[in-house]
Amino acid sequence: MKIFTSIWMVIVFAVVLTGVRIDNSDTVKILRYKTWDHFQQVHPRQEVSDQIVVVNITESDIKKYGQWPWPRHILGIFHSNLSEAGAILVNYNILFAEQDRMSGTEYLKSMPIINLELREQLGKVLLDTDAVFSAVMKQYGNAVLMMSVKNKKDNTIVRTTQIIQKGDAIPWLYNYAGIVPPHTKVAAGSTAIGVNVTSPEPDAVVRKMPMLIRVGDKIYPSMILENIRLINKSKRIKVISKQHGIDQILVKKDAGIPVNHNAEMYINYAEPTDYTQLTADEVFSNEHKDKLAGKIVVVGLDAAGLSVLKYTPHGLTTDQIITAQALDTTMTGKYLFRLAQADAYEVFFMALLLLLLIIVLPRTSVLLAVPLLIFIEGGVAYASFVAYANKGFLIDPSFIMLSVFLVWSHSVYNNFATQSRLKQQIKRQFEHYLDPRMVKKLQKDPGLLKLGGETRYMTFMFCDIRGFTPISEQYKDNPAELTKLINRFLTRMTNVIIANSGTVDKFMGDCIMAFWNAPLDTENHQMLAVLTATQMQSELATLNEQLTRESLPNIKVGIGINSGEALVGNMGSDQRFDYSVIGDPVNLAARLESASKTLGHTLIVGEATKKVIEDKFEFKFVDSITVKGKTEQIKVYTLER
């Protein structure tokens, strides 16, 4: 279980998240695109030109003028009305791939007339509606017709605007098997022909349109690009390719469309209701002519069963509205940009953030970790939104924010688990040796405890039973009773030590080792140690009274106290260790306890302890002694009683 809460697991998790982002799967893309969709919903393009008018062929138009497709001489009248009203360009989001089935020439083909002379005479008088429509478009010179693509390969090649390549653009363009152009007769009257397709997306939402595509080695321009070319009165298109993909598409030296490395333009959507929309009937009846003067018109179907609705960031809409939005993006110049190197920059930034979190969070409390998360997540979201709203830059905050949250959650959980384990360790290690209030204090702030070891100025106590051998002799046939007697003694002495903020280091048979001023700072630790010794003697007197009544042997003790600097911390092997203390002052305290018997006093206090608290107690000089391991004499004291 510990492996899952280690720093290495967090690092592995961060590396996996970075790998997922580098892989850039459809799930990652959808998350990115949905974020940008939300940006467009919250802050749609504010600037809308008055150059675009959408004309919808609606159900009411079909009821009035007959079933679709209308005869193309009717469309000739329709185009004439638009042009006479002042439309500068008319885009047909309708594919005229076949001859008009209602044309007189097509009707003649289906008539079973064997007489060739009669057939020839009828051919001269029957109306060729395709030719009529084409002638009208050619007269006004403002029609932009639509091409589409297909999955079936053929040898159809359509003549389009000249495209000049600087660098090799072919590998970067969307490749389709075949092209579906308008019928030759109709196309003859057009001013321009362009492809009208949208970029394939994993969630089928229209966000981009390719400005150039290819069928084999033949490059075709989009309707949008052809509009820009015609507006700028250019006769050719130039595409500049670099190492990372398509860099620029120009119709003039200073005019073009910003695209990504696949020659796609991001559509900057405005509110669909901001566009002027007319019906075909309003065009036929010459209503609202003022709304068409000097405008670019987009014509499309908006009748049930005829129009194909597509998903956009603003919901379902028709092809002609999407084309209008794309055209208006170019008219306003409010383009959306996505750098070719954006993915690499985002991966680097994400990895850097995750690395910082891995370094910082283990050293941060939960109270600080939450504001840190809010600051990072809010900063990333705000920065990316401001870049979009103010500059049109598309930065993906989604996976960065998700990864930051996941690594943050893992790290915070690790901190919690580590602290929980530490608190349990502290409880197990100290609950029997420290005042419960001190244990809770340590659990609340484990930082107070330096288990690795530290040098502290402390006070040490050793307390041992005198004459333990004669007592044990009395119990040689009943060791269990001896154990009970010793435990009664140790329990009472331990309670006194703990009550005075002491730490019981260990029990060595009938001996108690204790110290003060660790693991927590303890003020007046010298005084508390001496006070504890006096209370232990009083508690022992009470215990002996009980033992006398029970006809049990009385207990006598020797106590040694000394102060000084010692090393305190977890001592032992990797398999087993204890919180303990080592140092010369500790050894001296043990020697003073041993000397108490020969000196004839229960309590012996070292000079280092006595100097600090000589105004608190009445000390009595006992002697200057030389203990084992020391050459110089040491003054020792006891308390006046």
Q: Mind listing the pLDDT tens digit for each residue in 261-312?
A: 999 999 999 998 899 999 999 999 988 888 999 999 999 999 988 888 999 9
What's the confidence (pLDDT) of residue 122? Answer: 47
| Residue count of the chain | 641
Half-sphere exposure of 430 (CA within 13 A, CB side): 30
Q: What are phi and psi of 506, to 5 degrees?
A: -165, 165
| pLDDT value, residue 101 | 76
Handedness of CA 66, 70, 76, 79 (dihedral sign): positive
Handedness of CA 102, 105, 106, 109 (dihedral sign): positive
For 517-618, strand residue ranges (E) read: 556-572, 577-582, 603-606
Instruction: Enumerate domains of the chain plus CATH numbers.
Output: 2-26+342-425 (no CATH), 46-331 (no CATH), 434-639 (3.30.70.1230)
Distance CA(151)–CA(531), nearest Å, equals 97
pLDDT of res. 621: 94
Identify the H or E element spanning 639. Answer: strand 634-639
- Report the candidate in 43, 158, 13, 132 with the shortest Cα–Cα distance to residue 79: 132
Residue 412, pLDDT score: 85
Q: Is the pLDDT of residue 83 over 90?
A: yes
Q: Are 161 and 226 spatial neighbours (Cβ–Cβ below 8 Å)?
A: yes
Q: Name all contacts of 58-61 with Cβ < 8 Å and 24+ positions apart.
A: 58/279, 58/280, 58/281, 58/302, 58/303, 59/303, 59/304, 60/279, 60/281, 61/279, 61/280, 61/281, 61/303
The mean per-residue pLDDT over the stretch 530-558 comes to 94
pLDDT band, residue 476 (cuts 50/70/90):
confident
d(CA 222, CA 199): 12
pLDDT at 108 over 50: no
Dmax over Cα atoms in the chain, in whole Å? 152
Q: Alpha carbon of 413 to those of 159, 369, 409: distances in Å? A: 65, 11, 6
Burial class (CB in 10 A: 0-12, 13-18, 19+), 629: exposed
Residue ranges of E strands in 573-602? 577-582
- Other Cβ atoms within 10 Å of 538 Cβ, number: 10
pLDDT at 628: 81
What type of residue is 48? V
In this structure, the number of other CB atoms found within 10 A of the CB of residue 431 comes to 10
**pLDDT, average across residues 78-87:** 94
Report pLDDT for 426: 57
Q: Tens digit of pLDDT for each residue in 249-263? A: 999 988 899 999 999
pLDDT score, position 7: 78
Distances from the Cα of 605 to the Cαs of 466, 510, 588, 611, 620, in angstroms?
17, 20, 10, 10, 10
pTM listed for this prediction:
0.70
Residue 446 has pLDDT above 80, yes or no: no
pLDDT above 70: percentage of residues in the chain: 89
Mean pLDDT of the chain: 88
Burial level of 606, CB count in 10 A (0-12/13-18/19+)?
Answer: buried
pLDDT band at residue 461 under the 50/70/90 scheme? very high
**Whole-number pLDDT of residue 641:** 65
Q: Give the DSSP letter of residue 444.
A: H
Q: Spell out the residues 6+ positions from residue 287 whose beta carbon is closer than 8 angstroms to its own.
A: 278
Decide which of 416 and 41 is more confident. Answer: 41
191-238 residue pLDDT tens? 999 999 998 889 999 999 999 999 988 999 999 999 999 999 999 999
- The per-residue pLDDT for 484 is 92
109 pLDDT above the threshold of 60 = no
What percentage of the chain's residues is helix, strand, coil (to nearest 5)? 45, 25, 30
Q: Residues 34-53: pLDDT tens digits?
A: 999 999 999 999 999 989 99
Q: Does the pLDDT at position 70 exceed 60?
A: yes
Residue 79 in tokens: 């185009």
